[in-house]
Structure 1
Amino acid sequence: MKALGIDFADLRTLRLVHDLRSFSEAAQELGVNQSAVSYTIEKLRRAFDDRLFYRQGTEVVATERCTAIAEAATGMLADLERLVLPAAFDPSQAEHRFTIACNFYERQLILPPVMKRLREVAPNMRVDTINSISQGHLQLKRAEAELLIGPLRPEESGFYCRNLIRERYVCVMDPSNPLAEGALSLEAYLSASHAVVLYGGGWRSGYLRELDAQGLDIRQVLSVPSPAGLGRLISGTDLVTTVPSRIAETFGPGLHVTDCPIPAPFDIDLVWTERTHRSPLHSWLRDLIAREMRAVYGG
């Protein structure tokens, strides 16, 4: 059988080309040259008697059969990873290096209680974090991260999600700002001078997307790449900034906080893939994170 010549490394290559839609990006992810990826795909074409990929302009497009094979390969690779893990484990003795894709919000509000608990019950565990911005789902697909935390629930199939926190936006300003008197109207909000957090990577905050949807715009005077230090930046000025309510709480006392007139509530979720879905180790970590969030923020 031609299929007997296929190994798990071949299937991983196929899955990466399928997910990334690029031979060169798959090669970069695998740390090999592009010719090695092309050789593997040619080998798989012969084994499956299917062209698997074809070019459409500058994009690599998978055939219907290739997509079915990639989905099956994901399950097989996940099964292999589970086989090398113990069926049960003692957190106090277990060793693992988790990689979590997340951003400023999660590092400020979710990871601190989680890390405190991990250090208490699983001192041999290590956590690496990488910025996700708007690429978290790709980082999961590429196995660059085992878990994604953030307002980034993917719409496509192949992902599992668990809600952690329900969030909303608030407006923060110096108490001397005339807008701090009474409720903030939409008209006053639109005419205010704003400090806007632009996270980069194509990500736009939910309230900005809602403004776009309504054909509205605000007067941006200052932009920053993260909310870090933003409270000090607006203190003593006429600037208004719009941030998640729990981030506003980290600014400390001395600033006025009020409801944002552009309702744009959002969820912070845990997201993972089939690769770690049935792993006892990863299931334990997801449960620990969810428990800590309920303990700290309720729900």
Structure 2
Amino acid sequence: MRFKGLDLNLLVALDVLLDERSVSAAAQRLHLSQPAMSAALKRLREYFNDDLLQQTGKRMVPTPHAMQVSEQIKAVLHDVEALISQSTLFDPSSSQRRFTLTASDYIATVLLAPLLRKLFRIAPGLQFDILPPGDTTSSLMEQGKLDLAILPESQLSTSHPSVLLFTERFVVVGCANNPMLSKPLTEDKFYEASHVVVKLGRVRPASIAQTSIDARGRARKEDVIASSFLLAPELVVGSPHLTVMHERLALKFAEILPIRIAQMPFNLEPMSEHLQHNEARATDPGLIWLIQQIQDQVQFTLPMDAN
């Protein structure tokens, strides 16, 4: 299809070229030959009367004009995708659609794993990309590259709608034979203990639990730093360390590891997990169906009154 003399398929090529900044990488991503991608770049340069990508040493660098139009191109492609989604009937039993979600390892374990076991029975053709939250989550949501994000309230985008899924308490976890947990844990004992602390990402390194504890103005002994809440229970086994983690995740690990769960020795606000999607996808029938499946799964396995 052409619009004012431009083959609109070339916009897809330009978007990928600006993302990859490499003709060969863009060709591989679009399943094209390198000569075909080079030809597409040549046509784009002629149409825009601009080099778009310039060779600088071993790297290709976008020109100022390319940087200027980059976000506009993403917005156009996103709007086209949203239009197609809105006008297409969605049949989960036969759909081959791939959904892209962002969720923490904790959410993947307590919510998405049981949900996917159900969905693979009723919608066997669906595919899922589950990305960890990170420094680019907000931009991916803005660009329409995420179908859904499941995030704590503090990490939500203010530009898109969200709905509360459930709340979660934090608990203290230690080895089953840790003498510190043989009786009610006091606040002083908590701070005297060595800890496994989970830190995530670069821009926002502290977890919600760590941020809440830090806000009390009293530092823990961070003897072990872990990059995932799935590692923390393993790291306290056979050690004097304690860790703070989500109650539901701790209960899952208590079924397979020799750990003991204790209540927090001071008040720590529960965490709320929310479901968010790009506002342009509000009428996407496939997304509406998936959101309902997630909400149903929460009611089935993570009831709101569990806390």
CA contact (8 A) 2:163 2:275 kept: yes
RMSD of aligned residue pairs (Cα, Å) = 3.9
What SS does the aligned partner of 2:113 have?
A: helix
Measure how far apart 1:104 and its partner are.
0.7
Q: Unaligned 5+ residue runs, structure 1?
A: 17-22, 45-53
Q: Does 1:130 align with 2:131?
A: yes
Alpha-carbon distance in 1 for matches of 2:114, 2:242: 30
CA drift of 1:68 comes to 10
Counterpart residue number, 2:152 = 151
2:26 to 19, 23, 31: 31
Contact map agreement 1:169 1:260 (CA 8 A) in 2: no
Residue in structure 2 matched with residue 269 of structure 1 by the alignment:
274
- SS where residue 31 of structure 1 aligns? helix
> What is the CA distance between 1:278 and its match in structure 2?
1.2
Amino acid at match of 1:293: V
CA distance in 1, matches of 2:295, 2:239: 39
SS at match of 2:254: coil
In 1, distance between residues paired with 2:279 and 2:260?
Answer: 45
Shift of 1:292: 0.8
Post-superposition offset of 1:170: 0.9
Per-residue displacement from partner, 1:12-56 (whole Å, max 9, x unpaired)?
899x8xxxxxx955857x9389xx99x979988xxxxxxxxx89x
Aligned CA distance change for structure 1 residues 75 and 126 (closer, same or farther; 3 Å): closer
Q: 1:284 maps to what in 2?
A: 289
Query: Residue 173 of structure 1 contacts residue 234 of structure 1 at CA under 8 Å; is this kept in 2?
Result: yes
Choose the corresponding residue for 1:258, options 252, 259, 263: 263
Counterpart amino acid of residue 31 in structure 1: A
Distance in 2 between the 1:69 and 1:12 partners? 8
Instruction: Work out the CA distance in 2 between the residues paired with 1:131 and 1:272.
Output: 16
Cα distance in 2, alignment partners of residues 111 and 293 from structure 1? 10
Distance 2:229 2:202 in 1: 16
Output the CA distance in 1 between the equivalents of 2:145 and 2:71. Answer: 21
Equivalent in the alignment of 1:173: 174
Counterpart of 2:86, as a letter, is: R
TM (norm. structure 1) is: 0.72
- Structure 2 vs 1, CA of residues 242 and 7 (structure 1 numbering), >3 Å: closer, same or farther? farther
Deviation at 1:67, TM superposition (A): 9.4
Is the CA contact 1:147–1:270 (under 8 Å) kept in the aligned structure 2?
A: yes
8 Å CA contact 2:78, 2:143 repeated in 1: no
Q: Deviations over 1:55-85 (max 9, x none)?
A: 9xxxx7x89xx999987885455224433x2
Partner of 2:60: none
For residue 114 of structure 1, give the secondary structure of its aligned residue in structure 2: helix
**Compared CA separation, residues 80 and 95, structure 1 to 2 (3 A):** closer
CA drift at 1:171: 0.8
Tell me what 1:184 maps to.
186
Q: Percent identity?
A: 21
- Equivalent residue for 2:83? 79
1:107: Cα distance to partner?
A: 1.6
Q: Which moved more, 1:226-235 or 1:68-77?
A: 68-77
1:213 equivalent among 191, 212, 215: 215
Residue aligning to 2:31: none
1:252 deviates by 1.4
Q: Deviations over 1:188-219 (max 9, x none)?
A: 32222111112334331123223333433111
Deviations, residues 75-123 of structure 1 (Å, cap 9, x unaligned): 455224433x2x3x33222221222222211221111221122122111
For residues 81 and 264 of structure 2, the distance between their equivalents in structure 1, rounded to whole angstroms, comes to 47
- Matching of residue 223 in structure 1 with residue 225 in structure 2: yes
TM-score of the superposition, structure 2-length normalised? 0.71
- Alpha-carbon separation, structure 2, partners of 1:165 and 1:248: 16
- The reply on whether 1:295 has 2:297 as its aligned counterpart is no
Residues 275 and 10 of structure 1, relative CA distance in 2, 3 Å threshold: farther
Q: How many equivalent residue pairs?
A: 274
